[in-house]
Structures are given as structure tokens and as C-alpha cells.
Structure 1
Amino acid sequence: MPKDFRATALERAIGRQLAGWRAERELSLAEAGQRVGFSGAKLSMMENAVQPSAPVDVMALGYVYKVPTPEWQAVVLRAQYAEQVRTRALNNAVNFDPAADFANLVFEATLLRVFTTDLVPAVFQLPGYTNAVMQTDDPVRTARFAMVREAWSTRLGDKDPLAVEVVFPEAVLWQVVGGPRVMKAQLLHLMEVSEHPTVSVQVVPRSVGAYPAMGSPFTLLGFPHRQHNDVAYLETFIRGEYVEEPGLTEQCAQRFTSLRELALGTGESLELIAEAAAEL
């Protein structure tokens, strides 16, 4: 076990499962350890995720505790996965940052579906708006937002331009980011880009109340090649993440469709944006 071992959430969940098995059989650490051939100390460390739980050890515990086969097999699979993830991390086999790569995918995509919850989508942000958002944040993210904006603008003249569909709640229009002047310029820019034939901007009115994916912004990218599946991109101020499993990206697509159905049409959305701009 490495000296700097830090258990992942998955490893901690495995430990709780092992402890639960033992508790169900009302065995002490010493009794359980004696049955399986472990020391009580080792078993305690496994249950508390102070050390990794090797798949073979999980298998042995499942057998000794007479856990139903499908149940212990499922935990063994989790332990195997946790072991693989840890080995990759220790070997530094993967060094890939989705947040840094995202602009590259935008360059390659043919369809961008964006749902934001508190900001104008990055693809349509003006530099002043971005700077105001990021002034107390990481400047590297500011540069990445600029790259995303550039990725869209440089595609406008393409034979196969990038189509962009965005949906966001009405509250985004009234959050005066960067002060009235910056926000007004941003709203006027949003009105301008919304009239482009490859752009759709829709606003979810506050009268709707709760709506799908509330509080969970995401971007869904579609690509021209059959071999390239849709990719969902999620980002917090900590990191970005790609979600590529077809079942999960389909969930994003379904929620986006539901959001568009709840939102105002593009014409009504444009009127609402104009109204917010006029208030500044």
C-alpha cells in the first residue's frame, strides 16, 4: 500500500459494504478475521478504507460470510474497477484535461446544445462579460472561454457551420454581470447572434417554475462522423468532465428537448432579451 494512500469514494463504499456484511452476521473483527485468515487489523483497515480492498480479499469475505453470489460478485467488480483506476493514477497513464480540450471539440462539432443556469453561454459571451465573471476566478478559464467563443465565430463562414441551440432561465437576463454597460452590451450581442440562421436562443420564463435539469448546466456536442458519438460536457470551477456513454448523453438530449418545449419561442425570447436590455 502506498504511503500517501487516499481512498476514493468508491473504495470507501466498498469498505462500508464489507462492514455491513460482517455486522449482519454479528461477528467481531477478530472472529471474522479468524474465519477468513486475515488479522482483525487488516479487516478493520479494509472496512474503514484505510487500505485498498483487493478483489481476491473481497471474494474471500463473500465466500466466508456466505453472501449471495450475485451480491459478492458485484462488489468484487467494483473492487477490480477501483484497483484499475488507482493503477492508472499511480502510473500517470492518463493526463487529459477535458476543460482544456473542450474548445477543440467545439471546432469539430456540427451541433452545440447548451443549457446554462446562471450565465450567458460561453460561446456567446463578450470579453467584458467573461472578464467580469472570471475576475476573481482562474485566468486560465477566462482564456478557455475565449477559445470557445472563437471556435464558434470562426465557423460562421464554413460550408458546414456550427449550429448552436441555447436555453437558459430568464434570471440570466437580469443578473447584471460587470455593471449595466457591460451587461447591456452583452444582451445586445445576444440579440444580434440570435438572428443568425444557425443559432437558436430560447429563454425559460420564470413563470414556468421548476424545469428539467434545474441547477445542472450542460453542453451536448454532436459530430458529423458516424463513428463519433455525442459528448456531454459538464464543468464546475474545479474541473471539466466529458460524459460519453450513449445512455447518459441521450438523457441530456431528452432534457434539452424538454427544456426547449418549456421555453419561450425564439421570437418571444428575443423580445424578453430586448426588454431586459432596455431596462439597463
Structure 2
Amino acid sequence: MPPQRSTRTRLRRVGTMMRTLRESADKTGYDAAERLQCSQAKISRMETGDVGVKLAELEALLGYYLATDEQRTRALTVWKESRHKSSWSRFADALTERFRAYAELESDAALIQRVDISLVPGFFQTENYALALHKAAPHFPSQINIDRAIEARKKRQRRLDDDDPPKVHAIIDEAVLHRLVGGPEIMVEQLQHLHDLSRRRNITIQVLPFGAGAYATLGGPFIMLVFADPEDPTAVYREHLGGGSWVEDPAEVDQYTRTFDDLRKAALSAKESANLIREVAADLDPR
């Protein structure tokens, strides 16, 4: 895990601390909203790190929750750290605000677990595959933004080459291997890259075969980010067309954790999956 946490992780930590203090003080979100004269939705977004907390708001809530001197000092320290500008802000022309927040959290995750049902995960996409995907969505960002989006994707992928890379466990539907994104030549390149990645010690790729039948996440892909520091709870990001949404409620996160474990058991082993990826690539390549 990188020694310096991202802005998003710090915001999340401030929010987690405030939620814990609120619950310990036996206060509701409505109570906190009344204290700040704001909406409950704002309190919720502050506690999940979706929005920043102003110093005056933080001080008011710390007093309202009867925080100890130690808790106050800790909260103010993390709050000051969260004021640093995000390294992902320069991609505002290529990524949505919510996905920039995701990219920040991803950069701090020690373990990334994801389920993909229709496309190769962005972490594993070749440049040609990614470009073909963008060209297939003409109603989304312009050519200039496509270039920037691919640059942002490369920035994310460089984490895989870090001295201390995250562990990545990806479960992909077999349909992903057969969908000809960009044509046979681009798809062969992508599948070969996927096979090469599967040989890395920190990467596990499992294919969920057609024979597995229906499964819980056929409605959409999701990603779980697990952090080395126990102060940072696991977060789930659900992807959909044009954006995504967060799941951070512990009970819901637990449901996704159990679902991922079920899919892991239903999928082919890593070795069987690598063999299948190689076979599909060979069928597409007549040479």
C-alpha cells in the first residue's frame, strides 16, 4: 500500500471518524443535520467522504458529539491532510467526478476484487482495446477526452508495476472473452495480454463459464476495494453506463463480499481460466 494516502482516502477517514463519534454519542443523521442547519443527505455524504467538511462544521460536530481531546486532535489532523489537492483533479475533462474519487481510492487499495460481465477490466485493457471501446460510444467524451481517458487508464495500470503492487482478483464472465471488441486482431492482442497478466504472482483471473448458469451479478459489474489499514473500511463500487455508485454500508458490503466468494467457487480455477483464455485467442488467430 502506498505510504502516502490519497485525498479521497483521507476524506473517507474523516467521515468514518465523524460517523463513529455520532453513533457513540447516540445521535442520528437528523440530529447532526439540525445542528449544522443542513440536509441529512449532506451529513450522509460527509460521512462517506463524498464531500469535504468545512473546519467550522467539523468543530461544531466534534463539540456536539462530546469528542475527547484525543479524538478532536486526531480528527483535525486527518482533516488538514484531506485539504491537499487530488492528483486526479487534472483528469476532470476525461473522468467523471465520481470515477476520479474511485481512482483515488483504488490507488490506496491493498486488494482489488472485481466482477466483470461484459468487458475486460479497465486495469487489464490494452490501449487498442480501450480505444475501440471509446469509439463504440460516440455519445460520450470527444476525441480529446478519449486521449485523456486513456492516459488516465495508463496511470491506473502503472500501479501493477509498482514495487509493492496491489493484489488483484478478477472474475470475468466467459462472454468477455468472446466479444469481438475492435475486431479479431485487437481481441487476440487483448487476450494474450490478459493471459500474460494471469501469470503474475499478485494477479488472479478466473473465468465464470457459460455452464455456471445464472448468477447474482448478471445485472452489473462491481469492484471491492480492501485496504491494509483497518481504519479504512472496505468499499464497493458498482459500475454502470456513464458512471457508478458507492456501497459503504457494512451490511451491504458484507453481501457483496459473500457474493464474490460464491462466484469465486463457481468460476474455473486460475489455471483452467488461463488455458481457456489461451484457447479462445488461438481460435481467433489463424496463424
TM-score between both structures, scaled by the size of structure 1:
0.64
Q: Which runs of 5+ in 2 are unaligned?
A: 1-29, 53-95
Which residue in the other structure is 2:262 paired with? 258
User: For residue 181 of structure 1, what is the amino acid of its counterpart?
Assistant: E
SS in 2 for 1:211: coil
CA distance in 1, matches of 2:42, 2:228: 35
Which residue in the other structure is 1:104 paired with? 104
Percentage of identical aligned residues: 32
8 A Cα contact 2:110 2:227, kept in partner? yes
8 A Cα contact 1:202 1:265, kept in partner? yes
Q: Deviations over 1:80-115 (max 9, x none)?
A: 9x96438999xxx94893212222112111100010
Task: Indicate how the Cα distance of structure 1 residues 163 and 144 shifts in structure 2: closer, same or farther if over 3 A, else same.
Answer: farther
Which residue in the other structure is 2:213 paired with? 209
CA distance in 2, matches of 1:242, 1:142: 26
Q: Which runs of 5+ in 1 are unaligned?
A: 1-75
Asked if 1:156 is matched to 2:161, the reply is yes
Correspondence list, 1:130-209, <5 A: 130-135=130-135, 136-137=137-138, 138-139=140-141, 140=145, 143-144=148-149, 146-158=151-163, 160-209=164-213
Task: Indicate how the Cα distance of structure 1 residues 142 and 209 shifts in structure 2: closer, same or farther if over 3 A, else same.
Answer: farther
Which residue in the other structure is 1:116 paired with? 116
- The Cα of 1:169 is off from its aligned counterpart by 1.0
Which residue in the other structure is 1:9 paired with? none
SS in 1 for 2:231: coil
Q: Which has the higher contact order (CA 8 A, sep 6+)?
A: 2
Task: Indicate how the Cα distance of structure 1 residues 83 and 107 shifts in structure 2: closer, same or farther if over 3 A, else same.
Answer: closer
8 A Cα contact 1:122 1:149, kept in partner? no
Which residue in the other structure is 1:30 paired with? none
CA distance in 2, matches of 1:143, 1:245: 33
TM-score between both structures, scaled by the size of structure 2:
0.62
SS in 2 for 1:104: helix
SS in 1 for 2:161: coil
Task: Indicate how the Cα distance of structure 1 residues 134 and 196 shifts in structure 2: closer, same or farther if over 3 A, else same.
Answer: same
Task: Indicate how the Cα distance of structure 1 residues 161 and 84 shifts in structure 2: closer, same or farther if over 3 A, else same.
Answer: same
Q: Deviations over 1:49-73 (max 9, x none)?
A: xxxxxxxxxxxxxxxxxxxxxxxxx
CA distance in 1, matches of 2:247, 2:108: 17
8 A Cα contact 1:106 1:148, kept in partner? no
8 A Cα contact 2:174 2:207, kept in partner? yes
CA distance in 1, matches of 2:217, 2:183: 28
Which residue in the other structure is 2:223 paired with? 219
CA distance in 2, matches of 1:142, 1:107: 21
8 A Cα contact 1:219 1:234, kept in partner? yes
8 A Cα contact 2:167 2:203, kept in partner? yes
8 A Cα contact 2:236 2:246, kept in partner? yes
CA-based RMSD: 2.8
CA distance in 1, matches of 2:44, 2:225: 27
CA distance in 2, matches of 1:197, 1:235: 27
Task: Please tell me whether Structure 1 or Structure 2 has the larger radius of gyration of its CA atoms.
Answer: 1
CA distance in 1, matches of 2:250, 2:43: 26
Q: Deviations over 1:142-184 (max 9, x none)?
A: 74565345324334332x3210000011111000000111111
CA distance in 2, matches of 1:247, 1:143: 37
Task: Indicate how the Cα distance of structure 1 residues 105 and 87 shifts in structure 2: closer, same or farther if over 3 A, else same.
Answer: closer
Q: Deviations over 1:183-218 (max 9, x none)?
A: 110000000000000000000110111123222210
8 A Cα contact 1:114 1:167, kept in partner? yes
8 A Cα contact 1:162 1:198, kept in partner? yes
Task: Indicate how the Cα distance of structure 1 residues 98 and 145 shifts in structure 2: closer, same or farther if over 3 A, else same.
Answer: farther
Asked if 1:85 is matched to 2:89, the reply is no
CA distance in 1, matches of 2:43, 2:204: 45
CA distance in 2, matches of 1:172, 1:260: 17
Count of paired positions: 198
